[in-house]
């Protein structure tokens, strides 16, 4: 499935976190195909380079528009440096797409503090470090932020309290930041997927029992692919969404349309 060229994002400078795989990789590549200059940011440098090489092969003239930045977003300084390095290389920042996330599951009594420290560092502290550094740059360009959230940040899930709580924090900040920075022309929105086939969810998606239960919860009766999510990110980042801010755009196949009541077909 391809993410086709739909928007003229020529020379827009975009930073995408978690760009080595899954939604982040597909989204970063889609920005490149639509003319943007893109910083691919993630921990895995080799996979980042593979992502850049793949899109450069498809769009040869785009090679000089791609920047590989290896960074662990669990390190606040590294997260902030990803922004400053992007600006130093391209001269500006127009869009921040925050997609990177870590997962820790299980009930709270079973949660190890080391696991909590790690998920908080990546999902919360890294995000705040990115936002603190990016917003002043985005105010210069009247740019925008798109967060890849999750339905898990809106409602509860069995066995996912640690992960869900971090997603809820980030998504609530989308609303508050939209208010704080709207007067400066900075828009802040979130795309909200349900279960999507990525390396992070591979164990769940590949489990027949979990897969069947997940599909049954989705009105469209299939698990999302990264190519389903990327176009929504591009739309929110584009001038077509110039009057959209503080919004959660559900791209969940109808998951949140349900009250959660039992349904038997």
- Could you tell me the CA-to-CA distances from 166 to 30, 34, 45, 123, 128 in Å, in that order? 27, 31, 25, 6, 12
The catalytic position among 96, 163, 165, 228 is 163
Three-state SS annotation for 221-260: CCCECHHHHHHHHHHHHCHHHCCCCCCEEEECCCHHHCCC
Check if the beta carbon of residue 7 is closer than 8 Å to that of residue 234: yes
Q: How many CA atoms lie within 13 A of 114 on its CB side?
A: 0
Residue 63's contacts (CB-CB under 8 Å, 6 or more residues apart) are: 52, 56
* Catalytic-residue membership of 163: yes
CA 235 to chain centre: 14
Check if the beta carbon of residue 121 is closer than 8 Å to that of residue 38: no
DSSP string, 24-49: HHHHHHHHHHTT-EEEEEES-HHHHH
Q: Which residues are catalytic, by number?
A: 163
């Amino acid at each position: 499935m391809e993410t086709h060229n739909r928007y003229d994002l020529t020379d827009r400078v975009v930073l995408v976190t978690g760009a080595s795989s899954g939604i982040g990789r597909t989204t970063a590549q889609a920005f490149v195909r639509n003319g943007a200059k893109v910083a691919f940011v993630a921990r895995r440098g080799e996979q980042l380079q593979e992502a850049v090489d793949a899109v450069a092969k498809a769009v040869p003239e785009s090679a000089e528009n791609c920047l590989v930045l290896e960074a662990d977003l669990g390190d606040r300084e590294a997260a902030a440096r990803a922004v400053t390095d992007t600006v130093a290389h391209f001269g500006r920042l127009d869009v921040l797409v925050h997609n990177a996330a870590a997962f820790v599951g299980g009930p709270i009594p079973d949660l190890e503090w080391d696991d909590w420290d790690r998920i908080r560092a990546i999902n919360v502290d890294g995000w705040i470090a990115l936002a603190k550094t990016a917003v002043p740059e985005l105010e210069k360009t009247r740019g925008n932020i798109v967060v890849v959230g999750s339905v898990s940040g809106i409602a509860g899930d069995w066995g996912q309290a640690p992960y869900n709580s971090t997603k809820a924090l980030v998504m609530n900040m989308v609303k508050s930041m939209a208010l704080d920075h709207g007067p400066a022309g900075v828009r802040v929105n979130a795309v909200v997927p349900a279960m999507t086939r990525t390396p992070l969810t591979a164990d769940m998606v590949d489990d027949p029992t979990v897969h069947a239960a997940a599909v049954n919860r989705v009105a469209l009766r299939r698990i999302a692919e990264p190519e389903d999510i990327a176009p929504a990110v591009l739309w929110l980042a584009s001038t077509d969404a110039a009057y959209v801010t503080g919004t959660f755009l559900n791209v969940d196949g109808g998951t949140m349309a349900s009250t959660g009541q039992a349904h038997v077909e």
